[in-house]
Structure 1
Amino acid sequence: MSISVFAPASIGNVSVGFDVLGLSVKPIDGTLLGDVVSIVQADKDSLSVIGEFSNKLPGNVKDNIVWHCLTLFNKAMAQAGHNTVKLALTLDKRMPVGSGLGSSACSVVAALEGLNQFYQQFNNTGFNQKKMLLMMGEMEAQISGSLHYDNVAPCYLGGMQLMVPDANIISRDLPQFDDCFYVMAYPGISVSTKAAREVLPAHYNRADLITFGQNLATFVDACHRNDKAQAFSVLTDVVAEKYRQHLLPKFIEAKQYLVSQGCLAVGISGSGPTLFCVVDDEAKANKFAKWLKINYLQTETDGKNYGFVHVCKVDNQGACVIENDT
């Protein structure tokens, strides 16, 4: 048997919720913006890496996070008393590394959910949602250096997820605004999560802490009351943006333009360099997407442009099986 699982891109932080808020997104044109992991039973464990951004990953597959996911999953299966078999995994790396779109989370979620779905069908074993999230968080922490679920949770569960300080719950689903469009512009350069975290201050002043708490609380309240105007009026980043924006060429100018043109909100997706802007009109979304293609995408040092712009909606499904051959 074989199975393929797709894991979608996500906006980490969503400006107002540093490390505690994440939103899963999908392009309205049907593009699979995320990673795919395919799994088939084999004579030995193996990993192949394909896809547009595969050349940005370690050459040794045993250094790949998907291989580490296989190791972790097999260990968890053994601890639970479940049998495993040898598997051949293929990672279709469709997400740029260091994009701020949850690239590592996509690989982690697609791999672990693919393994779980495989074994559920193969021998009726596997793990529940809570155990899966814990493993996904553990893998993500390996890469970024700290445990946070703001990419893996929405990537796995879909929708907008609020991380809560309860290991038995981990994440709560927040209501979203279904008429909103999220224009995602990846300029074609990479920013490592580790580097983006290192520019942040070790301590914050009291005024910023008060503003952060007030804005996040107001945003969550507005989501539950379906008050779009209130929600996006506080969608600002007082924790990271002012320290990270210098890492993102053209971000300041792009944000100024988009805000002046009536966007509901503009921010950095995760640690960047992807910019996202929010509108509630499809024509405006397409207009801003065209502007960003011209004014925000950049050329890498190898002379190529790896950037893209997608008009997206909220992805309420999260990780899903896209091919299943039993």
Structure 2
Amino acid sequence: MIKIYAPASIGNVGVGFDILGAAITPIDGTLLGDCISIQSSDTFQLKCHGSFSDNLPTDIKKNITWKAWRWFNNYTNKKIPISIKLEKNMPIGSGLGSSASSIVASVLAFNQFYKTQLTKTELIKLMGSLEGDISGGIHYDNVAPCYLGGLQLITGDKNYVTQKLPIFKNWLWIIAWPGITLSTSVARNILPLHYKKDICIQNSRNLSTFIHALHTKQSELAIRFMKDTLAEPYRIPLIPKFLHIKRSIMKLGALTCNISGSGPTLFSICLNISIANKVKKWLEKNFLTNNKGFVYICKIDQLGARKMRLQQ
């Protein structure tokens, strides 16, 4: 049996709309990400388990894992019966790279099972293509960090699709999902088709300064320029009381408050565990809308997707 885990991710990371993404892992050891287990079988099977499996499509042919399996089955032309188990531990439509997590875990598991030996570039391009099949356009800001770990810059280069960026190890990332979903297509369609020149210039300034600050180890400078001028201003109405939440947790000592991906998950950065715990408790009390929602204190997951040890 092969079992692969693929972590949650924060798309955009505030300042990098569609070109920055970071893999995250809760510091309490929670596996916030999907797992795929596969083994040979007499008949084809795809079984879905996990806290959020009830939200998956009932039509198996609409399941991301089935689409990934079909691709490998066609690629290898091997009609091998297979048993697949998807542990859906990620809420769909949360802004935490739920689809990317399933895609990455599936692709890596099938690549091992079928012994296709695809290169990293081939794998990530396949992941992006499968992601695009869902969202309507190929993008890598979730699949790249989910697969490779760390903070990734999506270059779009044909040979080097993504590049890993340095990050501050003392940053604690608080992520809060309120318990409701937000359609990625809705969040993208609300954005303007055209932007004014000064907004584009400001976005370029913010992004370039942020990346420069990472490489030169200027934490405060990086925080000051972690501002989204392209998406967040237009998505604020989609997240109730967003500005009130932002003001409130920054009064507690949080350095940032941004939308993770297309939302509704929010993320914040703190410098010490005391402040992080205060922010976590405030968000649990004031942001969660039901008992499905959660708040985690996280760090950057530098490992990305990985093979899990099988229980005996």
| 1:23-34 correspondence runs (5 A) | 23-34=22-33
Equivalence for 1:273:
264
Q: Does 1:7 align with 2:22?
A: no
- The 3-state SS of whatever aligns with 1:150 is coil
Residue of 200, 206, 227 corresponding to 1:209: 200
Tell whether the 8 Å contact from 1:251 to 1:275 is kept in structure 2 after alignment: no
Q: Does 1:218 align with 2:215?
A: no
Q: Distance in 2 between matches of 1:306 and 1:252?
A: 23
- The 3-state SS of whatever aligns with 1:96 is coil
For residue 32 of structure 1, what is the amino acid of its counterpart? L
Q: Does 1:199 align with 2:198?
A: no
For residue 289 of structure 2, what is the amino acid of its counterpart? Q
Q: Distance in 2 between matches of 1:220 and 1:108?
A: 28
Tell whether the 8 Å contact from 2:253 to 2:275 is kept in structure 1 after alignment: no
Equivalence for 1:95:
90
Tell whether the 8 Å contact from 1:3 to 1:325 is kept in structure 2 after alignment: no
For residue 217 of structure 1, what is the amino acid of its counterpart? S
Residue of 300, 305, 309 corresponding to 1:319: 305
| 1:279-294 correspondence runs (5 A) | 279-294=270-285
Residue 45 of structure 1 and its aligned partner are, at CA, apart by 2.5
Q: Distance in 2 between matches of 1:289 and 1:263?
A: 10
Residue 41 of structure 1 and its aligned partner are, at CA, apart by 0.7
Equivalence for 1:118:
113
Instruction: State the Cα deviation string for residues 109-140 of structure 1 (Å, max 9, x = none).
Output: 011111122234xxxx4211111001000000
Instruction: State the Cα deviation string for residues 69-111 of structure 1 (Å, max 9, x = none).
Output: 1111222334xxxx56221111110000000000000010011
Residue 325 of structure 1 and its aligned partner are, at CA, apart by 8.5
Residue 218 of structure 1 and its aligned partner are, at CA, apart by 0.6
TM-score by length of 2: 0.97
Q: Distance in 2 between matches of 1:168 and 1:71?
A: 26
Q: Distance in 2 between matches of 1:193 and 1:168?
A: 28
RMSD of aligned Cα (Å): 1.4
For residue 317 of structure 1, what is the amino acid of its counterpart? L
Q: Distance in 2 between matches of 1:131 and 1:86?
A: 25
TM-score by length of 1: 0.93
Residue of 165, 171, 192 corresponding to 1:180: 171
Tell whether the 8 Å contact from 1:5 to 1:323 is kept in structure 2 after alignment: no
Moved over 6 A (4+): none
Instruction: State the Cα deviation string for residues 244-285 of structure 1 (Å, max 9, x = none).
Output: 111112322111112233322110000000010001111111
Equivalence for 1:85:
80
Equivalence for 2:222:
231
How many residue pairs are counted as aligned between the two chains? 312
Equivalence for 2:294:
308
Gaps of 5+ in 2: none
Q: Distance in 2 between matches of 1:317 and 1:148?
A: 21
For residue 320 of structure 1, what is the amino acid of its counterpart? R
Instruction: State the Cα deviation string for residues 8-62 of structure 1 (Å, max 9, x = none).
Output: 0000000100000000000000000010111011123221111111111111222
